[in-house]
Copies of this chain bind each other. A is one copy, B any other.
Amino acid sequence: MGMRRRTKGTVMGASSKGLVVNETQADARTRLLQASIEYFAGKGYHSTTTREIAIAANMSSAALYVHYKSKADVLFLICMTGLDELVCIMDEAADRSSGPLDEFRRVAYSFAIWHAEHSAMARVANYQIHALRPDHWTVVRGVRHSIEARVRGIIEAGMGDGVFHVRDSHMTTLSVISMGIDIARWYQADGSWTVDDVADHYRRMCLCMVGVV
């Protein structure tokens, strides 16, 4: 667990420094991504300049283009990173579950936690999708549909087992996901509710919606 070296050298000028350079590149990319998330979530994609992002990341004004091909690529990466994390939540819930009720409880809880803890990223991935390049949107839409299909799969499995009582699995899936996504809009880390309070309540509401009281 050694100390991690941080250098100030630019990526372009530090190519002979081996591993340290790679660390710096990764750090730089992370800082740029984090700044992009904050700006896109706050001001919107279109009104954010690559210069603003670079300066917020404490880098020179054209730095974004050293690490990413374009602002559009950064937006795509943010969306895909968020969706990948949600897919991981699904996978983990599936691996550890003992049936649809348990899986649904796990997914609901983690889904809420993620949207509260990564609210800026979630806002970008849901409210800035109109700004995605058409080819990027095609990919993002596909992953979104697959997540929706997996949640619906759990609900329908629960219906099949007679544990869930749902009239319309498509609409109920949408309601569950919708209420989870909206957490990213209203949740405030400095508010009176912890992420666990929010996730616990959200899970309870979801269970009500699938007819488990």
Contacts and interface: CB of A to CB of B under 8 A. Distances in A.
Interface of A: 42-47, 126-127, 130, 167-168, 171-172, 174-175, 178-179, 181-183, 185-186, 193, 197-198, 201-202, 204-205, 208-209, 211, 213
Contact of A211 (B43, B198, B208): B208
9 contacts: A44-B45, A47-B47, A127-B185, A171-B193, A171-B201, A172-B205, A178-B186, A181-B182, A181-B185
Contact of A182 (B43, B182, B193): B182
User: So how many copies of this chain end up in the complex?
Assistant: 2
Contacts of A185: 126-127, 178, 181-182
Contacts of A204: 167
A213 B167 CA distance: 12
Nearest to A126: B185
A175 to B, nearest CB: 5
A127 B178 CA distance: 15
Contacts of A45: 44
Contacts of A205: 172, 175, 209
Contacts of A197: 171
Contacts of A178: 179, 182-183, 185-186
A147 to B, nearest CB: 13
Nearest to A42: B130
Nearest to A179: B179
A114 B209 CA distance: 22
A165 to B, nearest CB: 8
Nearest to A171: B201
A43 B171 CA distance: 28
A74 B126 CA distance: 25
A91 B43 CA distance: 35
Contacts of A209: 205, 208-209
A203 to B, nearest CB: 11
Contacts of A167: 204
